[in-house]
Amino acid sequence: MRLQNKIALVTGAGSGMGEAEALMFAREGATVVATDINEEAVQAVAKKIADMGGEALAIQHNVASKDAWEDVMTQVKNKYGKLDILVNNAGISLATPFEEQTEDDWARTYGININGVMFGMQQAIPLMEEKGGSIVNISSISALTGMAGAGAYTASKGAVRSITKAAAVDYGKKNIRVNSVHPGYIVTPMSAPSMEMYKDYFLTQVALPNLGNAEEVAAAVLFLASDEASHITGIELPVDGGVTAK
């Protein structure tokens, strides 16, 4: 098992890519701390892990709140005494063009997508300093290429890309690796309606025959989280079927 004896925290674990990451990590031997703003959803994921013989702790969690992060990490420290892996997966996308962005839209997007990543790393790093660890931040191909009609989302995911590199440089000597994963057109329960509606267009953008799925993203995250990636830090890994190759 690739994550045996590891403690892994995954945000936004109640559905989609976060759920896939939590389940895959558990299958690979990790004890999973699964957090999500939707308590019912994340409890259901924890039950799935328990039913398959794994161990999970489900916590309701607003990643945009520094106080909430402090509470989550206090629970992790008190229960497990360490943290080996953090996946900053939680995020939102408000598809509105620049001229229609409100101050509240901007603040909400940044609060979840980048402040949540920053708070998470601030709280995780002290628990990793003694023995090292791996942080994987979920960004987007929009951070690499731009995306029409989603200015705040694109900007926030670009910030995730940059803060990942900064943290990788700052904490590499402590054996804390920090990498970003950049999903492309991925079919999840949340994205499925629009992916189906515009499938023909999306397929013209993807080099491979099919759109991606949450498990394919989770597999990339698993690799970066595992010791197999022990000499990899500061990279941006697209999981996009070749969109950014064009």
The fraction of the chain above a pLDDT of 90, given in percent, is 89
Mean pLDDT score, 168-192: 95
Question: pLDDT class for 96, splitting at 50, 70, 90?
Answer: confident
Is residue 153 annotated as a catalytic residue, yes or no? yes
CATH of domain 7-238: 3.40.50.720
Give yes or no for residue 149 having a pLDDT over 80. Answer: no
Specify the pLDDT at position 129: 95
What global pTM score does this model have? 0.97
Angle at CA of residue 182, ends 177 and 184, nearest 5°: 160
Mean pLDDT score, 212-241: 98
- Write the Ramachandran bin of 81: left for phi over 0, alpha for psi from -120 to 50, otherwise beta: left
User: What's the half-sphere exposure (Cβ side, CA atoms, 13 Å) at 217?
Assistant: 30
The fraction of the chain above a pLDDT of 70, given in percent, is 100
- Which pLDDT tens digit goes with each residue over 182-213? 999 999 988 888 889 999 999 999 999 999 99
Could you tell me the end-to-end alpha-carbon distance of the chain, in angstroms, rounded to an integer?
Answer: 36
Residues contacting 130, CB < 8 A, separation 6+: 82
Specify the pLDDT at position 229: 98
> Of the residues 80, 110, 153, 171, which is catalytic?
153
Mean pLDDT score, 123-148: 95
Mean pLDDT score, 11-20: 98
Question: pLDDT class for 148, splitting at 50, 70, 90?
Answer: confident
Closest CA to 236 of 172, 185, 160, 175: 160
Specify the pLDDT at position 191: 86
Cβ-contact 24, 222 below 8 angstroms = yes
